[in-house]
Amino acid sequence: MNVHFGAIETRDDPLVLGTDPIPARYYYDPEWYELERKAIFMRTWLNVGHVCELPETGSFVRREIEFARASLLLVRGKDGTIRAMHNACTHRGTQLTDEECGKRPTFSCPYHMWTFGTDGALLSAPDFERFDTTKEACALRQVAVDVCGGLIFINFDPQQSLREYLGPMAEMLEQLPVARATTFHEYVYELDANWKMDYDNFQENYHLRFIHPRSGGAGVWPGNPFGYPSHFSLNGRHRTQTIWADPDAEIQPTMLDVYKRSARRLAADGILDHPLGREYIALFPNLFLFCSPGSHFLHTVFPLGPEKARGVIRLYWIGEDETASTRYAREFAMAQIRDIHSEDVGVVQAGQRGISSGALEYLHFQEKEILCRHLIKVCEEEVEAYIKANGA
């Protein structure tokens, strides 16, 4: 059967993508990584932040995008528009700032003091009359940027608009509490593993009872000993799964205390009893969201090389820490996420070492690991389309 995986839409059909083994080289081969970099990451909408980071005119954040060898400035201009501009002076390329974030009316190059506005326009340059060019031609180079559900996305070479790319997932994002978030906690990590090796770990629950016994099995109960999802859906390039919950499960005393202390704030956030509160939403290629009761969790995985990745984990919140109980609940949620993730790091890197050894020609996914298989199939399709279009 000839299936166009990037366009497929289906629900709860575990065999729709077939059962073939997956080439192991996808997880370590430098040539395949370079194809993914060009075909996917240089042409795909990628989440790099949230509008709450840019609350006022002149607010900016700097983002290092290693796979593109780019340093970008996300800036809110005087017109309220958010722009993504290369952090590179158009005179001789000097980076304008090494600050991670801040607020500025202008950006001046430290080398020769060329000065740019928050919209990227060149405002002034010493002795500019001696240059055989115009200020308009010397504006900061920009990257496509758009916002959906409060999330800021960039694209180095857009093939379609963000909303076209997201399809029905756009409406889903706009329903989530993250669309109204005003603050967040962040945890950034790097590990020696291919970006898909890292991402796949969070797309399947098969490992929960073995890797996460210390954290209570993270959703494993006798009625579902492997914590398998109750439903899944494939939506074009993207996918979702519904996390199974035991209706008779007892909440651990510490967690129950957290919920009692923070129930009012979490209810105000719209997180408790949210209709999407058990949905794991995976947006191609590298972002997933989980709106669990108690926190709103986003995880983005960026490739740093064939066998190296960076993850950015964020918990988004609505409103400030108005009480000590709210602060306690939020800090506890972040600590719990870090504790659970610490149990994953070693086994993910061990898997990478095993695959990179060349001992395996293929990997095998079972039917409950269909989200992992879907990611691979869409990657294959994107690479094939790129090769066909560019003769690479």
User: In this prediction, what percent of the chain has a pLDDT beyond 90?
Assistant: 68
Q: In terms of domains, do 191 and 319 share one?
A: yes
Q: Is residue 381 packed enough to be buried (19+ CB in 10 Å), middle (13-18) or exposed (0-12)?
A: middle
Q: In terms of domains, do 116 and 262 share one?
A: no
Q: In terms of domains, do 94 and 153 share one?
A: yes
Residue 109 is part of which domain span? 46-157
**Given 132, 157, 182, which residue is the final one in a domain?**
157
Number of domains in the chain: 2
Helices (H) and strands (E) in the chain, counts: 8, 20
Q: In terms of domains, do 295 and 259 share one?
A: yes
Whether this prediction's pTM lies above 0.95 is answered by no
Specify the pLDDT at position 328.
Answer: 85
The predicted model gives 339-356 an average pLDDT of 94
Q: Read off the CATH number of the domain in which 340 is found.
A: 3.90.380.10
Q: In terms of domains, do 41 and 53 share one?
A: no
Q: Is the pLDDT of residue 23 over 70?
A: yes
End-to-end CA distance of the chain: 26
Q: In terms of domains, do 331 and 353 share one?
A: yes
Q: How far apart are CA 50 and CA 65, in angstroms?
A: 16
Q: In terms of domains, do 249 and 164 share one?
A: yes
Q: Is the pLDDT of residue 219 over 70?
A: no
Specify the pLDDT at position 277.
Answer: 53
pLDDT tens per residue, range 225-265: 788 888 899 999 999 998 776 655 555 555 555 555 554 55
Q: Is the pLDDT of residue 275 over 80?
A: no
Q: How far apart are CA 94 and CA 111, in angstroms?
A: 7
Q: In terms of domains, do 71 and 97 share one?
A: yes
Q: In terms of domains, do 208 and 186 share one?
A: yes
Q: How far apart are CA 334 and CA 313, in angstroms?
A: 9
Specify the pLDDT at position 192.
Answer: 98
Q: How far apart are CA 373 and CA 265, in angstroms?
A: 38
Q: In terms of domains, do 180 and 266 share one?
A: yes
Q: Read off the CATH number of the domain in which 134 is found.
A: 2.102.10.10
